Structure 1
Amino acid sequence: MQKWIIVLLVFLAGTGLSAQTFRGSVVAGMNISQIDGDALFGFHQPGVNAGLRVVAILNDRWRVGPEILFSQQGAQRPNTSANISIYDSFRLNTLEVPLMAYYKDWRLTAEGGFSYQRLINYEVIGDNGEDVTAQTDLQDNLFALKLGATIYFSPNWGLNVRWSKHILDIDVDNGINTSFKGRSVSVRAVYTFGAGESLPKPIDPE
């Protein structure tokens, strides 16, 4: 994890040397998440979503680039739940590296891409309150689809909302008929270093 952070910091340092080509940002906020297949319905598990972003500027409208994030996901039974599940909660701590493409239209930026997540550790609690982590095998390497948008209030500050869903099952196939796929919605503040993002005028429909 530290190696990837150092690599991205080197990129950020380089933005001062080639500000016309790269932009560096800090992102920080939260996830609300659930896991399809665990019978715990609803987005009730909060978690941290924070890290660094570097984008390469292709032109006035398009950017591409990676992020390096600490991202917490999972699922949780609400206090007033009528869900029938053998689980009470999942908590996944991951190092996440999304690779995103961005399209800007004035203050609004649409985004889409894919991410690789490395599972750092996790905890699974059964419906009786017992820790069943050792009996619940999850994949170390996870992959997800990402879609979202950012509205910029100034060249430096923006608010990002992002939807994410795992592409493959996150549980290990041990011959048990289960299929777990995580989903999350992230709400994050975005601060872009230096002069920030340019805010091109909206596209004229004519």
Structure 2
Amino acid sequence: MRFTFLLLVCCTLVRTLPAQTFLASALAGGSLSQVDGDDLLGFHQPGINAGLRVVAVLGDHWRVGPEILYSQQGAKRNRNNLNISDFSDIRLNTVELPLMVYYKDWRITAEAGAAYQRLIDYRIEDANGADATDQYALRNDLFALQLGVTVYLTRKLGINFRWSRHLTDLQVDDTPRLRGRSVTLRAVYSFGSGETLPSPSGTAPALPST
């Protein structure tokens, strides 16, 4: 219900402004993640991160807007990991709704914001690889801090790097205290005319149109 409400609010905001003030993009890529508190070290859990973004163009440099993503996160034991842990694999499948602020200067975009994540389903395996999902109750509603940067190769195509960390515990119980972290690398394809920011010096050549 909370996810549906937030999505409706974002859609309403989008419809209240003129169409020319918006830029839509498709996002597709992958992530590596871990969970703090599970005694497994390293970003060894691969996952998918893909969806859509709509931003309101507030000027030459500033943008703000939501994304809607399918995001896989979790943690995984590395074959060379000697740490003692109750887990060997944690897989989280979520629908994610980040609300981000962007500052663009020519090819470079800095971004910061927060994300609401709705847990669709999850699987947890114990140290022996057996299914232990029923032993752990995870929260359906999660919140995360997100920071990132995008480098635009052309007006329409960019490469995005994003770091994310949960602000809320994954588990309903306090023990163990589990919070996820992830790093994501994605391609960003902007529809329409794409980005048209000036260069920092005003003398560099314009970005290619394709």
User: Which residues of 2 match residues 49-128 of structure 1 at below 5 A?
Assistant: 49-128=49-128
> What TM-score do the two structures reach when normalised by structure 2?
0.87
Q: CA deviation at 1:199?
A: 2.7
Q: CA deviation at 1:49?
A: 0.1
Q: CA deviation at 1:100?
A: 0.1
* Pairs aligned (count): 196
Q: Which amino acid is 1:30 matched to? A: G
3-state SS in 1 of match to 2:73:
strand
Unaligned runs of 5+ in 1: none
Equivalent residue number for residue 184 of structure 1: 182
* Identity among equivalent pairs (%): 55
Pair 1:179–1:203, CA change in 2 (3 A): farther
Q: CA deviation at 1:18?
A: 2.1
8 Å contact from structure 2 (residues 61, 197) kept in 1: no
Cα distance in 2 for partners of 1:188, 1:203 equals 28
8 Å contact from structure 1 (residues 23, 196) kept in 2: yes
For the aligned residue pairs, the C-alpha RMSD in angstroms reads 2.3
3-state SS in 2 of match to 1:134:
helix
Cα distance in 1 for partners of 2:68, 2:198 equals 27
Superposed CA deviations along residues 18-72 of structure 1, whole A, max 9, x for unmatched, are 23x0000000000100000000110000000000000000000000000000000
**Segments ≥4 residues shifted beyond 2 Å:** none
Cα distance in 2 for partners of 1:110, 1:151 equals 9
Cα distance in 2 for partners of 1:95, 1:128 equals 29
Q: CA deviation at 1:203?
A: 5.8
Q: Which amino acid is 1:18 matched to? A: A
Cα distance in 2 for partners of 1:48, 1:200 equals 33
Q: CA deviation at 1:76?
A: 0.1
Structure 1 position 162 matched with structure 2 position 159:
no
Q: Which amino acid is 2:61 matched to? A: R
> What TM-score do the two structures reach when normalised by structure 1?
0.89
Q: CA deviation at 1:130?
A: 0.9
Pair 1:181–1:155, CA change in 2 (3 A): same
Equivalent residue number for residue 130 of structure 2: 130
Cα distance in 2 for partners of 1:200, 1:82 equals 51
Cα distance in 2 for partners of 1:181, 1:172 equals 12
1:194 to 151, 167, 192: 192
Cα distance in 2 for partners of 1:177, 1:192 equals 43
Q: Which amino acid is 1:99 matched to? A: L
8 Å contact from structure 1 (residues 104, 200) kept in 2: no
